[in-house]
């Protein structure tokens, strides 16, 4: 994997294929390997760049300087946009979707299109005083309390089961469980950084400033709070195209890669 230092922190990424650049941004407690199948599907016509965000995979953790994850992870995208040498498509899932949105707003002249797969923009629900914000506030509270009292395994179980259903953590392999537990400090930072109270948080009006083609991808069986986020985004982006992954939940790129990848690839090839 290529490696560089971005703002003094080591960052690794995957680089495969040739053609218009596509930057792929993974979810919390994951890494660039999440996109392996999509890279294989795209690399004959696109150059795929998939970083490990700070604290995930082989990349260094977040700088302990008081900044939330958003600007720090967005700096990775900025570096890869420069490396790409041409406007790039951005694809982000969950946490990665929040980073992709921030980058598209920050550097619209370097972004060709934006695909958001259920970005966890819970701060929008808080800002709108939406009742579905309670779901986010509860899971964030639980994880932060468990991490504060030194119980990362319990936090990992609660986090995984929140997104994938009861028993999902226990059903995972031992290596997967160990990775999730190891990344829980960064996951806690993710929950904090999502809040509307975090530094540089995105506001309800921000998505409406997007100046690039946008595709919103939602799963059929996602959580109510995430469905509400997607509803808010559709209202803010009336020109965006939308797709649904049938039979899937929030982790569709992992649990239903063929269906999800086909949706993403079709949009990219059309733009």
- Chain segment 71-92, per-residue pLDDT in tens: 999 999 999 999 999 999 999 9
The pTM of the full predicted model, rounded to 2 decimals, is 0.97
138 with 151, same domain: the answer is: yes
pLDDT above 80 for 66: no
Domain that holds residue 154: 133-190
What confidence tens digit (pLDDT) does each residue in 12-55 have?
A: 999 999 999 999 999 999 999 999 999 999 999 999 999 999 99
Q: Are 62 and 178 members of one domain?
A: no
Q: What is the pLDDT of residues 165-213, one digit of tens each?
A: 999 999 999 999 999 999 999 999 999 999 999 988 998 899 999 989 9
Whether 250 maps to a domain, the answer reads: yes
My answer on whether 185 and 230 are in the same domain is no
Q: Is 103 inside any structural domain?
A: yes
Residues 17, 111, single domain; the answer is yes
Question: Is the same domain home to 242 and 210?
Answer: yes
Task: Give one DSSP letter per residue of the chain, joined into a string.
Answer: --EEEETTEEEEEEEEE-SSEEEEE--TT--GGGGHHHHHHHTTTSEEEEE--TTSTTS----SSS--HHHHHHHHHHHHHHHH-S-EEEEEETHHHHHHHHHHHH-GGGEEEEEEES---HHHHHHTT-TTHHHHHHHHHHHHHHHHTT-HHHHHHHHHHHHH-TTHHHHS-HHHHHHHHHTHHHHHHHHHHHSTTSTTPPPTTGGGG--S-EEEEEETT--HHHHHHHHHHHHH-TT-EEEEETT--TTHHHHSHHHHHHHHHHHHHT-
> Over pLDDT 70: what percentage of the chain?
100
Per the structure, how many domains does the chain have? Answer: 2
Query: Do 102 and 186 share a structural domain?
Result: no
Boundary (domain end) residue, out of 160, 190, 220:
190
- Same domain flag for 123 and 221: yes
Q: 137 and 116 share a domain?
A: no
Whether 196 is in a domain gets the answer no
70 part of a folded domain = yes
Q: What is the pLDDT of residues 89-137, one digit of tens each?
A: 999 999 999 999 999 999 999 999 999 999 999 999 999 999 999 999 9
pLDDT for the residue numbered 65:
79
């Amino acid at each position: 994997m290529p490696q560089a230092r971005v703002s003094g922190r080591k960052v690794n990424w995957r680089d495969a294929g040739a053609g218009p650049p596509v930057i792929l941004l993974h979810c919390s407690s994951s890494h660039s390997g999440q996109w392996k199948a999509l890279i294989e599907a795209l690399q004959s016509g696109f150059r795929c760049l998939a970083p490990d965000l700070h604290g995930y995979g082989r990349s260094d953790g977040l700088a302990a300087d008081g900044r939330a994850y958003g600007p720090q992870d967005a700096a990775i995208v900025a570096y890869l946009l420069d490396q790409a040498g041409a406007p790039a498509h951005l694809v982000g899932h969950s946490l990665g979707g929040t980073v992709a949105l921030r980058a598209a707003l920050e550097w619209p002249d370097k972004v060709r299109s934006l695909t958001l797969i259920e970005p966890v923009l819970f701060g929008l629900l808080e800002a709108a005083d939406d009742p579905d914000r309670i779901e986010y506030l509860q899971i964030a509270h639980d994880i932060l309390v468990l991490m504060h009292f030194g119980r990362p395994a319990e936090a990992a179980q609660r986090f995984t089961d929140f997104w994938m259903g009861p028993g999902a953590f226990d059903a995972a392999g031992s290596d997967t469980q160990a990775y999730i537990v190891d990344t829980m400090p960064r996951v806690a930072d993710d929950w904090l950084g999502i809040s509307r109270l975090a530094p540089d948080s995105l506001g309800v009006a921000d998505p409406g400033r997007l100046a690039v083609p946008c595709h919103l991808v939602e799963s059929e069986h996602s959580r109510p709070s995430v469905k509400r986020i997607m509803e808010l985004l559709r209202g803010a982006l009336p020109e965006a195209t939308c797709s649904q992954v049938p039979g899937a939940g929030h982790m569709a790129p992992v649990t239903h890669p063929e269906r999800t990848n086909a949706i993403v690839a079709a949009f990219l090839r059309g733009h």
